[in-house]
Amino acid sequence: MPLVQGMLEILDDHLFDTLHTLAPRVAQRDRELMFVIPFGGMIVTNDGQRVKEYLETNMPMSGLLPSPNRFAVHALRVAFIGRKILPVSSRYYADTLVRLIIGAKTYWNGPAWKCADPVTMVLNADTLLVMGRHARVDLVRSLRRLLNPRPMIQEPFHVEVTFGKAWREYSDDAPDRLVVVLEGKLARAVI
């Protein structure tokens, strides 16, 4: 299809953001927002303050897409990263709640294991055996399920992460970062 100036072209794309978990979370808030600090903004890590890099987010503005761009969200995926990517059987997935909020409406709300990235499933062959029968069925269904209806991002949005009690304890296996990926279709202006 020929491109016409002033039109929107549709691309398969993703939006991603990284949150440094600062484990153990003793003095920090239990709730953090993602997609609100664009690249070039200041962030706090376990090693102190620094500038957020493009490898940590592809958001050029805080919680907004450049106008007139729109993004149709098909799926939400999360992964915890420490010295390695943590498998979905890690207690941190069960003890973390994730909410996708566009405007003032919640489009997805649930524990992180229900939207875990599929790569977390293949890290450990015994992952599914550790989980209970009902949790195993829910996990397999959630990895196949797309967001329905597919929300359209064309106004302020963020992902709210709520950390549970497991995050307050010191642990050598605690993840350093949480990565959230929104998969979907980007409608961007043709210039």
Model pLDDT for residues 34-82, shown as the tens digit of each residue: 999 999 999 988 788 999 999 999 999 999 988 888 999 998 989 998 8
What's the confidence (pLDDT) of residue 145? 55
Model pLDDT for residues 115-171, shown as the tens digit of each residue: 888 767 765 556 666 777 777 667 655 665 578 788 999 899 999 999 988 888 878
Residue 28 has pLDDT above 90, yes or no: no
DSSP string, 23-86: SS-SSS-SEEEES-S-TTSEEEETTEEEEPPTTTB--SBTTBPPTT-EEEEEEEEEEEESSSBP
The rounded distance, in Å, linking the Cα atoms of 164 and 91 is 10
Distances (CA, A) of 185 to 15, 70, 72, 144, 166: 10, 8, 5, 18, 35
What's the confidence (pLDDT) of residue 23? 67
